[in-house]
Amino acid sequence: MKLKGIGVSPGIAHGRIYRPGESGEPRPETYVPGTPSEEQARLSAASAELAARLNKAADTRRRQGETETADILEVHALMAADPELLQSAEREIAAGHDAPAAVLAAAEEQAARLESLKDDYLRERAADVRDIGRSLVRTLTGGEETLPEGPLLITGQEISPELLGELPAGRLAGVLLGGGSATVHAAILAKARGIPAVAGLGAALDQLKEGMTALMDGNAGTVNTAPTAADIAAAETAVIAARREAEKQREWAGVSAITRDGVKIRLFANASVAAEVKAAMDAGAEGIGLLRSEFLFFGRDTLPDEEEQYRAYRAAVEAAGGKPCAIRTLDVGGDKPLKALPLPREENPFLGQRAIRVSLARPGLFRTQLRAILRAGAAGPVSILLPMVTDASEVVAAREHIAACCHDLQRAGISFAENVPLGVMVETPAAALLASSLGKHCDFFSLGTNDLTQYALAADRSNPAMAGLGDYLHPAVLRLIGFTVQGGGEAGIPVSVCGEMAADPLAAPLLLALGVSDLSLAPAAFPRVKRAVCRITMPEARALLESAMNMPTAAAVRDFLQSKLPE
Ligand code: PEP
Ligand code: MG
């Protein structure tokens, strides 16, 4: 049997299905109720025990640098000792119920109340309250479950963060979720711990029975319950390759990208959530050059409010551990539609309501995000990056919104970062050609070569038929990058590249010779880009660039570089 969901944390795992506490109430028949006062005492003891266990798990995670998991576990510890929940359970006990039944009823009542509220964040906390109720019952009844043997694929419609946080290290091989998307806590935590995860399996999840063996693929989003020997062998090979890749990553983590004649290019990382930021720091990133904030907005019916955004950005900033973090404002539209923000249908969405245009047309949405970023800036160095700018008017308008947000936060006495650097994504030919004037209005440029290439070459990046045409090594794209670096130089601001081109070792010498100071890329590509930079000199890089610039096509440039820079 093969199930298909969405891959939300990469990697392959082979193990046994483990379905914690899903067979109805986590309440064994063997529970013997005491008198009401004994039940009250058992409830207080269970609450204290669970809170202590969660705090202990939080401490362990924090020591291991998993701040995000630790924060969540601490919040759950507070919830386990929540006086309101306990008082409501005590009333149930006084009305004649035993402690497990009382706690489930109290949690259900609180969850239902949360679900009826307008605030999205509070509504979403209902699932957490139910989790706490179940955990309290397990603690009360001593109902620790016996785990299946060997590596575990933890499976459930929803899986609570504490279950993931508490499972013994080394036993948890994968996470399979019926609901959710890449943004549910379980998926984020799985990613933070480098554990493969598949979400969105829906009702098909019921076919996965406790103890069954299965092979899951967190890249493809699949689960196979009857893998052949060849499937398992291929998976094992992939696991070994991933381990080697991780080793390579560690070997290169302490090495800087410096040419043989001593010119350094700084390597930053692209990320979407705090867990990726942490992994990037472990891989030796000098900071986050592009935090794609839209990740927080995907796969949900309502927009995240300021508080939720603030928490997400602050977690990213904290994970960067004092290194700079460039948070890009919402880049939706084009190939990134949002369920929570329906945009009008357009004939050419890539040329329509997208990115900064969406933000400037909706000041409420924009300012909510800006305030959240500015507040996160109080936790560490942040900058704001504007996507898809075409001229200075957009930057000026954005600055006015930022100034208004600073003013509001100041008046409200909320702490925030002042003078946050403002960067422009240079990803339209217009921005590249106007770089010298745009540079007067911002503090840095970041070249979005994915879009710059599609707009310069009129080659839709989401159309597979255009894949051959949309090559960033095209001499026209190289020239646009040259304009941008020149404009940045005139304005005295740094220029980085954060599109996929930054991860291509063939492009590295050209970007060095063009005068790009920083690259921002997926950390997985750090070793190969560092290697490409470390083996060249600037005169060699300049000679390659000069030849490439004068070639007629991208194919000619690619062939030429491949012949000069063999793997
Ligand atoms: C780019 O366009 O190069 C870029 C980094 O932004 P995105 O891929 O998110 O559009
Ligand atoms: Mg882009």
Supply the DSSP string of 321-364, one letter for each residue. TTS-EEEEPP--BTTB--TTSPPPP-SSGGGSS-THHHHHH-HH
Beta bridge partners of 268: 520
Which residues, 6+ apart, have CB-to-CB distance to 31 below 8 Å? 98, 100, 140, 141
Looking at residue 202, what is its pLDDT?
86
**CATH 3.40.47.10 matches 264-524:** no
Nearest-CA residue for ligand 1 atom 9 is 292
Ligand 1 centroid from CA 292, angstroms = 9
**Residues lining ligand 1, CB < 6 A?**
290, 292, 331, 427, 448-451, 498-499
Beta bridge partners of 444: 423
Ligand 1 centroid from CA 359, angstroms = 17
With H, G, I as helix, E, B as strand and everything else as coil, classify residue 549.
helix
Residues 355/377, Cβ–Cβ less than 8 Å: no
Looking at residue 124, what is its pLDDT?
67
Half-sphere exposure for 201 (CA within 13 Å, toward CB): 28
Nearest-CA residue for ligand 1 atom 6 is 448
Q: Which atom of ligand 1 is nearest to the CA of 451?
A: 2
DSSP string computed for 108-121: HHHHHHHHTSS-HH
Q: Which ligand is nearest the CA of 289, by number? A: 1
Where are the domains positioned within the chain? 2-231, 264-524
Ligand 1 centroid from CA 560, angstroms = 26
With H, G, I as helix, E, B as strand and everything else as coil, classify residue 63.
helix
- Which residue carries 């291991």 as its tokens? 64
Helix axes 526-534, 229-253, angle to 10 degrees: 50
Q: Which atom of ligand 1 is nearest to the CA of 500?
A: 3
DSSP string computed for 407-466: HHHHHHT----SS--EEEEE-SHHHHHTHHHHGGG-SEEEE-HHHHHHHHHT--TT-GGG
- Pairing outcome for strands 172-177 and 197-199: parallel
Residue among 484, 498, 519 whose CB has most ligand 1 atoms within 8 A, to mutate: 498
DSSP string computed for 222-269: EEESS--HHHHHHHHHHHHHHHHHHHHHHHHHT---B-TTS-B-EEEE
Residues 484/432, Cβ–Cβ less than 8 Å: yes
Ligand 1 centroid from CA 326, angstroms = 14
Task: Please give the single-letter amino acid code of residue 215.
Answer: L
Looking at residue 406, what is its pLDDT?
98
Q: Is 542 exposed, middle or buried (0-12, 13-18, 19+ CB in 10 A)?
A: middle
Looking at residue 506, what is its pLDDT?
96
Ligand 1 centroid from CA 387, angstroms = 8
Q: Which helix (H) or strand (E) holds 79?
A: helix 67-80
The two structure tokens encoding residue 312? 């997400």
Task: Please give the single-letter amino acid code of residue 567.
Answer: E
Q: Residue 175: phi, psi to the nearest 5?
A: -125, 130
Q: Residue 264: phi, psi to the nearest 5?
A: -100, 140
Ligand 2 centroid from CA 211, angstroms = 45
Residue among 296, 297, 331, 350 whose CB has most ligand 1 atoms within 8 A, to mutate: 331
Ligand 1 centroid from CA 427, angstroms = 8
Q: Which atom of ligand 1 is nearest to the CA of 454?
A: 2
CA dist list (Å): 353 to 329, 348, 349, 419, 501: 14, 9, 7, 29, 25
Question: How confident is the prediction along the chain (567 residues), in pLDDT tens digits per residue?
Answer: 889 988 878 889 999 999 886 544 455 567 888 999 999 999 999 999 888 888 887 787 777 666 767 777 888 888 999 999 999 999 999 999 999 999 999 999 998 888 888 766 676 677 778 878 888 888 888 765 667 778 899 998 877 766 776 676 678 899 999 876 555 667 767 776 778 999 889 888 889 988 899 999 998 899 999 989 888 888 888 878 877 877 877 788 889 999 999 999 999 999 988 878 988 998 899 999 999 998 888 767 889 999 999 999 999 999 999 999 999 999 998 777 788 888 888 889 899 999 999 999 999 999 999 999 999 999 999 999 999 999 999 999 999 999 999 999 999 999 999 999 999 999 999 999 999 999 999 999 999 999 999 999 999 887 778 878 899 999 999 999 999 999 999 999 999 999 989 999 999 999 999 999 999 998 888 998 999 999 999 999 999 999 999 999 999 999 999 999 987
CATH number for the segment(s) 2-231: 1.10.274.10
Residue among 427, 477, 497 whose CB has most ligand 1 atoms within 8 A, to mutate: 427
d(CA 12, CA 170): 15
Half-sphere exposure for 62 (CA within 13 Å, toward CB): 13
d(CA 8, CA 274): 15
d(CA 476, CA 455): 11
CA dist list (Å): 88 to 82, 96, 219: 10, 13, 44
Q: Is 395 exposed, middle or buried (0-12, 13-18, 19+ CB in 10 A)?
A: buried
Residue among 327, 451, 500 whose CB has most ligand 1 atoms within 8 A, to mutate: 451
pTM score, whole prediction = 0.69
The two structure tokens encoding residue 277? 């930021």
Nearest-CA residue for ligand 1 atom 1 is 448
Residues 179/138, Cβ–Cβ less than 8 Å: no
Q: Which atom of ligand 1 is nearest to the CA of 292?
A: 9
Looking at residue 23, what is its pLDDT?
41
Nearest-CA residue for ligand 1 atom 8 is 450
Q: Residue 211: phi, psi to the nearest 5?
A: 90, -15
With H, G, I as helix, E, B as strand and everything else as coil, classify residue 40.
helix
Whether the CA torsion 185, 303, 290, 333 is positive or negative: it is: positive
Nearest CA to 475 among 510, 431, 503?
Answer: 510
With H, G, I as helix, E, B as strand and everything else as coil, classify residue 213.
strand
Q: Which atom of ligand 1 is nearest to the CA of 446?
A: 5
Catalogue the active-site residues: 185, 498
With H, G, I as helix, E, B as strand and everything else as coil, classify residue 175.
strand
